[in-house]
Amino acid sequence: MVENHGPLWAGLRSLPEMSEGQFRRWADLLERRTGMSLPEERRSFLVTNVGARMREIGCEDYEEYFQRLHSGVLGHVEWATLVHRLTVHETRFYRHPASLDYLRRAFLPDTLEGCPRPYRIQAWSVGCASGEETYTLAMLLDQRLRELGAKPYVAVTGTDLSLDALAAARRGVYHPLRVGSLPAHLSQRYLEKLQDGRYRVNVGLRRRVCFAQLNILDLASATLGPMDIIYCQNVLIYFDKLRRHRILGQLAARLAPGGVLVLGSGEAAGWRAEGLQRVQRRGVLAYRRPLAERGSA
């Protein structure tokens, strides 16, 4: 005799296939609310992540779940949970050494030459996810400015759409695998090892980093700027070309004179960076606002 476990095993049952019409409806919702473009070849990504969340809450019908996302306050809460699944991507400390090396070895010394002390740097990590990139920037800036001979003022802001990711970023606690690529001298100075083997960003650095929710579609209304560094890597690849170029223009408008916009490979294809100069450095995609504008401001 087979025992009937009922709802206990409901989460193990396969969900029905997502039809073409259902996929387009879900893709349109995601694009409308987040700006992310989801082509047909990424249908499995959508099905996997939406399906996983549906199983967690015991929902077996795409239409029912779609309507739940539109049901007032509870719908907003559920959307915040789902959007974390759909928009937070792989990240880790010191993810793109070439870009970080450019900031440390070239951008900072050049920018600060002749500037009064204490040095003041404002940086913005766009699409910061769980904070690894944001803290990496803060570490690099703090260390390099100290090497240049004065106690610096560094303020780094990380923004993301996912509230869950931002909560993790504010905690600043990470699995060893996430910090493995961080240079030892930075790890020793800015991280503390916890009893469970994880690492926490020390309180001194956490106090200099701010995290805030921001939908990249709402950049026009964001209060951030002017920025010396805008770091936006592996974010724009999820948007169509027209929207990507519009976002790039809005980010560029937030650059201070002499400021730099650092992007990921291929994220600015076809973009006319008016008023900016392409950084000529191997392995780096970045655009800089001319320093000359300082004198004319």
Model pLDDT, residue 89: 64
Reply yes or no on whether the pLDDT at 296 is more than 50. no
pLDDT tens column, 65-94: 889 998 888 888 888 888 877 876 668 899
Model pLDDT, residue 16: 74
pLDDT tens column, 219-258: 888 888 799 999 999 888 888 889 999 999 999 999 999 9
Domains and their CATH numbers in the chain? 6-87 (1.10.155.10), 97-296 (3.40.50.150)
Reply yes or no on whether the pLDDT at 26 is more than 50. yes
Q: Which of 200, 234, 224, 211 is nearest to 164 (CA)?
A: 211
Model pLDDT, residue 150: 65
Contacts within 8 Å (CB) and 24+ apart, 22-31 = 22/62, 22/63, 23/47, 25/66, 26/50, 26/62, 26/66, 29/66, 29/69, 30/86
Cα separation of the two ends of the chain? 83
What is the SS3 assignment for 273?
A: coil
What is the SS3 assignment for 279?
A: coil
